[in-house]
C-alpha cells in the first residue's frame, strides 16, 4: 500500500510532501478534531507519525494493516523514534531572556493546539499540551492552523498580517486579525478556505518577503472571499510600527481607500 492509497482511505488532507489524517487510535471516539496523523512515504515505505503520541504499532493495527503492508520486513520501533525527536525538557535549554508574549494557537472551536513563546531578542519556542498535563516542547509547525482561527471563522471581515505581534495590535483596536504561524514563508494553500465569504484586508511587512507573502495569499484567498485588498502602508516596516505614529482612524482611512 502506498501513502496516497492510505490517505485516500482515511480521507486525508494533502500537504507539501505528506498527508494529514485523523488518528484511528485516539480519534476513534472523536478525539482528533484536528488531524494529527502524518502519512508520508520514503524509499517505498509508508511512515505514520501521530503527533498526539499514539504508538505506531497501535495505529497500524487500528487500520487493519501490518507493517508488511507498509513496506517493512520487520516491525519498526516508531514510538521510540518519535519520542526521541519530539519530547524535550525545558530545563535543559540555555537560559533565555525575558518572556515577552505567549501566542495561543487554537482550532476553529477554540481548543488549544500549541503555544508560541516569544522571548527577548526575537527568540521563539513552541510547545503543545500533553495528555495528562504538562507540555511537549516539539511542534510540527507545518500542520499548525492560522493564528486566532476561532475568531476568524465567525467574522465577516478580517485582516491578514505577517506575525502575531501585528495581530495583537489590531485585536486591541477591535479588529479580527490573523497570520500564518511561521512568517512570510509559511503561507499554505489550505489556509485560504477559512476566508470564505469574508471581506479581507492584507497588511504586509514592507520588505520583499512580506510583499510576496501578501500577493500569494491574496491570489489564493480571492477564490473564496467576497473581496480581498492589499494595503501598502506608506510608513513603517509593519502595521504595529505604522500605528506608533498614526491613529486607528488614519489606518481605517487607508483601508477604505483600496
In tens, the pLDDT along 78-102 reads 544 433 333 344 444 455 678 899 9
175 and 250 part of one domain: yes
173 and 223 part of one domain: yes
CATH code of the domain covering residue 12: 3.90.580
Give the residue-averaged pLDDT of 71-81: 61
Number of domains in the chain: 3
| Strand ordering across the sheet containing 99-106 | 99-106, 112-119, 123-129, 135-136
pLDDT band at 233 (very low <50, low <70, confident <90, very high): very high
Give the residue-averaged pLDDT of 205-218: 93
| Domain extent for 238 | 146-257
235 and 193 part of one domain: yes
31 and 114 part of one domain: no
Give the residue-averaged pLDDT of 129-142: 83
CA atoms within 13 A on the CB side of 153: 10
* pTM over the 0.85 mark: no
Q: Which residues make Cβ contacts (< 8 Å) with residue 176, sequence separation at least 6?
A: 148, 151, 152, 155, 157, 158, 159
136 and 194 part of one domain: no
166 and 234 part of one domain: yes
Q: Does residue 73 have a pLDDT over 90?
A: no
What's the per-residue H, E or C state across the chain?
CCHHHHHHHCCCEECCCCEEECCCCCCCCCCCCCCCEEEEEECCEEEEEECCCCCHHHHHHHCCCCCHHHCCCCCCCHHHHHHHHHCCCHHHCCCCCCEEEEEEEECCCCCEEEEEEEECCCEEEEEEECCCCCEECCCCHHHCCCCCHHHHCCCCEEEEECCHHHHHHHHCCCCCEEECCCHHHCCCHHHHHHHCCCEEEECCCCCHHHHHHHHHHHHHHCCCCCEEEECCCCCCCCHHHHHCCCCHHHHHHHHHHC
CATH code of the domain covering residue 178: 3.40.1360.10
75 and 126 part of one domain: no
Amino acid at each position: 500500500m502506498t501513502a496516497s492509497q492510505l490517505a485516500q482511505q482515511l480521507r486525508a488532507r494533502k500537504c507539501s510532501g505528506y498527508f494529514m489524517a485523523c488518528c484511528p487510535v485516539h480519534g476513534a471516539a472523536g478525539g482528533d478534531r484536528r488531524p494529527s496523523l502524518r502519512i508520508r512515504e520514503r524509499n517505498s515505505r509508508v511512515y505514520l507519525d501521530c503527533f498526539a503520541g499514539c504508538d505506531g504499532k497501535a495505529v497500524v493495527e487500528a487500520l487493519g494493516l501490518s507493517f508488511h503492508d507498509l513496506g517493512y520486513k520487520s516491525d519498526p520501533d516508531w514510538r521510540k523514534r518519535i519520542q526521541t525527536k519530539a519530547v524535550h525538557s525545558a530545563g535543559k535549554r540555555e537560559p533565555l531572556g525575558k518572556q515577552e508574549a505567549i501566542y495561543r494557537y487554537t482550532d476553529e472551536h477554540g481548543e488549544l493546539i500549541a503555544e508560541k513563546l516569544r522571548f527577548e531578542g526575537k527568540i521563539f519556542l513552541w510547545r503543545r499540551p500533553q495528555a495528562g498535563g504538562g507540555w511537549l516542547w516539539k511542534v510540527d509547525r507545518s500542520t499548525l492552523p492560522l493564528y486566532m482561527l476561532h475568531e476568524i471563522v465567525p467574522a465577516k471581515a478580517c485582516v491578514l498580517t505577517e506575525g502575531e505581534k501585528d495581530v495583537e495590535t489590531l485585536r486591541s483596536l477591535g479588529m479580527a486579525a490573523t497570520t500564518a504561524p511561521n512568517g512570510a514563508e509559511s503561507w499554505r494553500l489550505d489556509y485560504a478556505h477559512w476566508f470564505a465569504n469574508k471581506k479581507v484586508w492584507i497588511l504586509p511587512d514592507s520588505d520583499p518577503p512580506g510583499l510576496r507573502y501578501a500577493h500569494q495569499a491574496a491570489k489564493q484567498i480571492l477564490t473564496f472571499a467576497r473581496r480581498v485588498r492589499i494595503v501598502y502602508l506608506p510608513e513603517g516596516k509593519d502595521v504595529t510600527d505604522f500605528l506608533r505614529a498614526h491613529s486607528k482612524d488614519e489606518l481605517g482611512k487607508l483601508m477604505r481607500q483600496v
